[in-house]
């Protein structure tokens, strides 16, 4: 099946419109802080959430609202996480009620999300005051909506692809935010996916739950798991394909298309890690079990020492072996191989658990690019896994040293 990248983001699929504005939650008037996505009809809906025991109030409300498998709108604010503050759930519910008041969509059919500083009261007044403008401007405003959910992100993160099911053109679009406080499983990410594929709520949830195992749960920026993460998907069904109600060939194509979108977003989020200058992709192959492959890949990506080495373009391969060794992966360390590659070339630095001669100058060139691939071969079996992360820089400390101010 061919998947074609197309223009647009969360409103690329049939049946969706969106907008984003500055309503006053954030002090900086140049920063949008309120987004709304509306579907023309009730959609099949599915979601996964952060595994942090401390969860933002919007998560509890969203869980209740889409427990029946349906939703028709998404409202999101940035600048305040609505977490660990008195009356948080009531505030999130009132945000849903505001959507109902201004659009006619039932408040129980609204997905609500917040991102920003934890532990500060969220004032509803700016949100209520901005709803007329927000709703009046609804359209295919992908950029405005995407900007409104950003916090320390430096770039907008959105994508869309087109493909066919039953001879019908189908689209999956997405917008996301995420830059810091990102660590498996699910991190400070808000990911909103929309599609016009006709699929039942049960099969949509199955696809989403399976997908995150090898997509968003394989990202780490800084080792901190957020309180507010969620990945939500709404499917309008307007593409006109026969409804997907079982794991047939159409389901497989949809799952593959969804994974194409989510892995694209994983890379965008990892590359835009707070203070990051490089996207790191670690591919582990030859593991005895898939669990071992996952542990090894995550171990490398989450190693602060290795991330710092990548910032300095230092081919310190010993830090890769060290990370694999403490990752919990069962492997024969005397068989491990390591290589680094980028658009500047590829260099092998370790074979059979031992260093090999290589040019430091060549390694410096390879590791000075902004996208680095680390290939780790374990020679224990046939299983593999991929994880994404970024380098650890001076700017990460600067950004988080004064985050609240």
Residue 356 CB contacts under 8 Å (≥ 6 apart), including other chains: 348, 349, 350
Reported as half-sphere exposure (CB side, CA atoms, 13 A), residue 31 has a value of 17
Residue 48 CB contacts under 8 Å (≥ 6 apart), including other chains: 186, 208, 209, 212, 230, 231
Residue with tokens 């709520």: 201
Which candidate, 374, 355, 383, places its Cα nearest to that of 301? 374
Q: What is the DSSP string of 108-154?
A: GGEEEEEEEESSSPPPHHHHHHHHHHHHHT-BB-HHHHHHHT-SS-S
Residue 137 CB contacts under 8 Å (≥ 6 apart), including other chains: 19, 21, 144
Catalytic annotation on 188?
yes
Helices (H), 217-345: 249-271, 290-302, 304-311, 318-326
Which candidate, 385, 388, 386, places its Cα nearest to that of 287? 385
Contact 317, 372 (CB under 8 A): no
Contact 144, 133 (CB under 8 A): no
DSSP state of 53: S
Residue with tokens 């400070």: 188
Q: How many Cβ atoms sit within 10 Å of the Cβ of residue 32?
A: 25
d(CA 207, CA 210): 5
How far is the first Cα of the chain from the last one, in angstroms, to the nearest whole number?
48
Say which of 188, 195, 225, 302 is annotated catalytic.
188
d(CA 48, CA 52): 12
DSSP state of 219: B
The residues annotated with a catalytic role in the active site are 188
């Amino acid at each position: 099946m061919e998947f074609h990248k197309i223009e647009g983001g969360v409103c690329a699929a049939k049946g969706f419109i969106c907008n984003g504005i500055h309503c006053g939650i954030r002090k900086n008037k140049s920063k949008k802080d309120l987004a709304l996505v509306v579907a023309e009809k009730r959609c099949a809906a599915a979601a996964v959430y952060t595994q942090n025991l401390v969860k933002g109030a919007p998560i509890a409300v969203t869980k209740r609202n889409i427990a029946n498998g349906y939703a028709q709108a998404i409202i999101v604010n940035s600048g305040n996480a609505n977490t660990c503050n008195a009356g948080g759930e009531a505030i999130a519910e009132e945000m849903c009620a505001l959507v109902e008041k201004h659009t006619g969509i039932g408040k129980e059919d609204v997905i609500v999300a917040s991102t920003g500083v934890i532990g500060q009261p969220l004032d509803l007044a700016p949100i209520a005051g901005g709803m007329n403008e927000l709703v009046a401007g609804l359209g295919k405003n992908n950029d405005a909506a995407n900007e409104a959910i950003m916090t320390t992100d430096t770039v907008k993160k959105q994508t869309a692809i087109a493909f066919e099911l039953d001879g019908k053109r189908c689209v999956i679009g997405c917008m996301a935010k995420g830059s810091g406080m990102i660590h498996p499983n699910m991190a400070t990410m808000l990911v909103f996916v929309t599609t016009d594929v006709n699929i039942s709520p049960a099969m949509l949830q199955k696809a989403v739950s399976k997908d995150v195992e090898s997509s968003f749960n394989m990202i780490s920026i800084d080792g901190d798991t957020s309180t507010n993460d969620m990945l939500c998907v709404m499917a309008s069904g307007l593409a006109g394909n026969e409804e997907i109600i079982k794991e047939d060939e159409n389901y497989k194509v949809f799952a593959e298309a969804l994974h194409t979108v989510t892995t694209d977003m994983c890379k965008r989020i990892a590359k835009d890690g707070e203070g990051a200058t490089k996207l790191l992709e670690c591919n582990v192959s030859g593991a005895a079990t898939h669990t071992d492959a996952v542990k090894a890949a995550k171990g490398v990506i989450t190693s602060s020492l290795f991330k710092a080495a990548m910032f300095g373009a230092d081919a310190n391969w010993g830090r890769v072996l060290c990370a694999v060794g403490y990752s919990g992966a069962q492997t024969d360390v005397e068989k491990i191989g390591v290589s680094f590659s980028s658009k500047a070339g590829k260099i092998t630095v370790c074979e059979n658990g031992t260093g090999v001669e290589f040019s430091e100058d060549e390694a410096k060139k390879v590791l000075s690019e902004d996208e680095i691939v680390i290939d780790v071969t374990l020679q224990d079996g046939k299983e593999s896994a991929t994880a994404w992360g970024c380098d650890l820089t001076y700017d990460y400390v600067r950004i988080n040293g004064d985050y609240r101010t």
